Chain A
């Protein structure tokens, strides 16, 4: 009733090819962004620090992998390592040049990750599917090996770990132990919104169409004049850029310090699951996937003991953990059966139903 197409006329090509052609969609998006910013002032530190910041970081990493796997159809298991490259690059840059604002270095560190990603993307021209996954797995192990073995990367720290020094923006600490969750959240949110907007423009434009053409049939795409090498490498570079920035945010704005083990193969799988559950080839799906995989267990961990205690069932922390695994696993299977194309597809169906509600024809 409130959400409908009727009466909105497109009078030029620009409005016809808009990403959000419906006025309601644009208002909705504005409201969501507004709510996200408002949350910084309404949410408590647990919500911001332990739920929202990681959710945004993982969403960003999912967008990165989605560009590669969802849009270009190249399966990668090196996400964790590419995130690591971003984090280590950011650490080196900001300790070597402390006078430059760290926000600059967060964005620049993505380029290092992009370069490494493009390098490991080279085999993608010759191999496809599972074989490519194995090639990126090599990147994962090789880079992780570098993180352990090259002490230069951590400035010869005895602990062998990355740690977030104090860094400020406009005189307010945004990094290091003194930065409040509120400030960190605002920084992460702004970066994620900015990069999501950029990604949205990329995937809906010429470059995105090239990626999709390669994904759908690379031979046909080549015949149409799309150069596979450049296109695939660009996908690897852009994807790794996003993962790299996400990695830098993960270590310095969320953990505040981390060992190499954070960027292990499990991290790669974690992001891959988010992309698959959320929906391949969808930006909003990346957010849905991150929410389901990351936030759901936290919510369960809070709700389950509260829901069980009135019945006199006291459950230990380990039982909760097992229940989390069971329920999240079951939910993943449930969603994949109900909608194999991921949560993004469910969202789309819901919107279409809403368009014709309450008079479906």
Chain B
């Protein structure tokens, strides 16, 4: 076959395919998932993508969707790249998505002002703009279950309790190794404020995005400064590299704490020496939940998932499941509120505001004990829920503490100042016009 013929056939085939594409049926709900299985953050992103996809696919397979309406799940590959993320957003915008999950702070920021114009709610689960916890200012953005300020206050509180009271931290030195970006810098003001009040010292070790895999200089300084505790705010390859460097430089791992993003693979990269490394978490690890067993049965065993069988139940996989749990719950709540079957983005925004995941509801969903309860409201788009501490025992994460409540007063001050600041800087930031539901 000549090249010309071949190309003609290809064109014909693609034209045919174009016409054969199914039109989006009225009785379906379109849920786009922004994922990254490629690029430098794929090591974290793949698990999350699998978890998000598999839970929703399980609902499709087991229950035929939500409330009898099938979910159309479509992944858009962002590669954690803002450029591609914005392209993905434009690509899905026209298909009436009920919610977008950017999974990158860089992609979330450009989308925040558009959400209210395009009427598409944004769920940035425990990342993105912390100030968007204020529902009265950001009616279209949700970031449950906790902000980074909450997370930082929980870690300090935990360390304080270990020392025998927050005031015992006086005179101690706390190192803060963070990604040198908005995400990593966010908790610094809170940390410094607490340092001033309680009287401990803070040493900052910023890691630039391009040096994530090479942190020898930061850990060398840490060795010189000898901080009593190290706290980490990292993502992607930064976490694994930090654990490896900490082990290599002989830092006592039981004094090394992190926000909720490190995965099993990150901890494993430190080898046996990584034992004792602690991170925050707000949901269970493992597959011993009826809903996750259903994922195994209806999705993974049928070959509908990209996840390996042994990866189901890992911490970031379950994080993806938690994200999809929120999506599904928001849709279900929206259906209940509006009485409609095929809900829209506007309905799901209301659904999200009225979300009520209490222990009874979690049990009903087959996730009893999977996570703490989460109740959102018109004003509170975050929940500021407590998280617990988990420790790496060399092979898996082990829960080692009860839920730690965030220091709400301190966080609230930061939050209000930030939200006010954002609205002021963006002169003409629209006032909330969306009505609140009675229940919330």
Interface residues of A (CB under 8 A from B): 44-46, 49-50, 54, 95, 98, 145, 148, 155-161, 163-166, 176-178, 254-262, 264-265, 298, 303, 306-307, 309-310, 316-318, 320-322, 325
Inter-subunit contact B87/A317 (CB<8 Å): no
Across the interface, B14 reaches (CB within 8 A) one of A157, A161, A307, namely A307
Residues 159-192 of chain B: 1 if any A CB is under 8 Å from the residue's CB, otherwise 0?
A: 0000000000000000000001110011000000
Q: How far is the CA of A155 from the CA of B83 in the complex (A)?
A: 24
Inter-subunit contact A177/B117 (CB<8 Å): yes
CB-CB under 8 A from A322, the residues of chain B are 38
Q: How far is the CA of A265 from the CA of B20 in the complex (A)?
A: 42
Query: How far, in Å, is B63 (CB) from chain A's closest CB?
Result: 23
B110 at the interface (CB under 8 A from A): yes
A158-B421, A160-B185 known; A50-B109 Cβ under 8 A: no
> 18 additional contacts, CB 8 Å, given A159-B182, A165-B425?
A157-B421, A157-B425, A158-B129, A159-B131, A166-B428, A177-B113, A177-B114, A255-B86, A256-B110, A256-B113, A259-B181, A260-B181, A261-B106, A303-B14, A307-B10, A318-B37, A318-B77, A318-B306
CB-CB under 8 A from A259, the residues of chain B are 82, 105-106, 109, 181-182
Which 7 residue pairs are nearest across A and B when measured between Cβ atoms?
Answer: A318-B37, A160-B182, A50-B90, A306-B17, A177-B113, A257-B110, A317-B75
| Main DSSP-derived SS at the B contact region | helix
Q: How far is the CA of A285 from the CA of B24 in the complex (A)?
A: 40
Q: How far is the CA of A7 from the CA of B210 in the complex (A)?
A: 60
B308 at the interface (CB under 8 A from A): no
Query: How far, in Å, is B232 (CB) from chain A's closest CB?
Result: 18
B209 at the interface (CB under 8 A from A): yes
Q: How far is the CA of A318 from the CA of B306 in the complex (A)?
A: 11
Chain A to chain B contacts (Cβ below 8 Å), 12 pairs: A148-B181, A148-B208, A166-B428, A176-B428, A178-B117, A255-B82, A256-B110, A259-B109, A262-B82, A264-B210, A307-B13, A318-B75
Inter-subunit contact B77/A309 (CB<8 Å): no
Inter-subunit contact A310/B37 (CB<8 Å): no
B200 at the interface (CB under 8 A from A): no
Inter-subunit contact A155/B113 (CB<8 Å): no
Residues 57-79 of chain B: 1 if any A CB is under 8 Å from the residue's CB, otherwise 0?
A: 00000000000000000111101
| Main DSSP-derived SS at the A contact region | helix
CB-CB under 8 A from A158, the residues of chain B are 129-131, 186, 418, 421-422
Inter-subunit contact A316/B306 (CB<8 Å): yes
Inter-subunit contact B77/A306 (CB<8 Å): no
The chain A residue with its CB closest to the CB of B131 is: A158
Residues 17-33 of chain B: 1 if any A CB is under 8 Å from the residue's CB, otherwise 0?
A: 11011000000000000
B311 at the interface (CB under 8 A from A): no
CB-CB under 8 A from B130, the residues of chain A are 158
Across the interface, B90 reaches (CB within 8 A) one of A49, A160, A165, namely A49
CB-CB under 8 A from A303, the residues of chain B are 14
Q: How far is the CA of A307 from the CA of B75 in the complex (A)?
A: 18
Inter-subunit contact B82/A261 (CB<8 Å): yes
Q: How far is the CA of A158 from the CA of B188 in the complex (A)?
A: 11
CB-CB under 8 A from A44, the residues of chain B are 94
Inter-subunit contact A317/B35 (CB<8 Å): yes
CB-CB under 8 A from A163, the residues of chain B are 109-110, 113, 425-426
Across the interface, A310 reaches (CB within 8 A) one of B20, B79, B421, namely B20
Inter-subunit contact B112/A257 (CB<8 Å): yes
Most B-side CB within 10 Å, residue of A45, A145, A306: A306
Most B-side CB within 10 Å, residue of A44, A54, A161: A161
CB-CB under 8 A from A176, the residues of chain B are 113, 428
Q: How far is the CA of A322 from the CA of B38 in the complex (A)?
A: 8
Q: How far is the CA of A310 from the CA of B20 in the complex (A)?
A: 9
Q: How far is the CA of A171 from the CA of B77 in the complex (A)?
A: 37
Inter-subunit contact A310/B427 (CB<8 Å): no
B116 at the interface (CB under 8 A from A): yes
Query: How far, in Å, is A55 (CB) from chain B's closest CB?
Result: 12
Q: How far is the CA of A252 from the CA of B330 in the complex (A)?
A: 32
Across the interface, A46 reaches (CB within 8 A) one of B38, B94, B209, namely B94
B268 at the interface (CB under 8 A from A): no
CB-CB under 8 A from A306, the residues of chain B are 14, 17-18, 21
CB-CB under 8 A from B110, the residues of chain A are 163, 255-258
Q: How far is the CA of A148 from the CA of B74 in the complex (A)?
A: 34
B413 at the interface (CB under 8 A from A): no
A50-B87, A306-B17, A310-B20 known; A261-B209 Cβ under 8 A: yes
Q: How far is the CA of A318 from the CA of B130 in the complex (A)?
A: 30
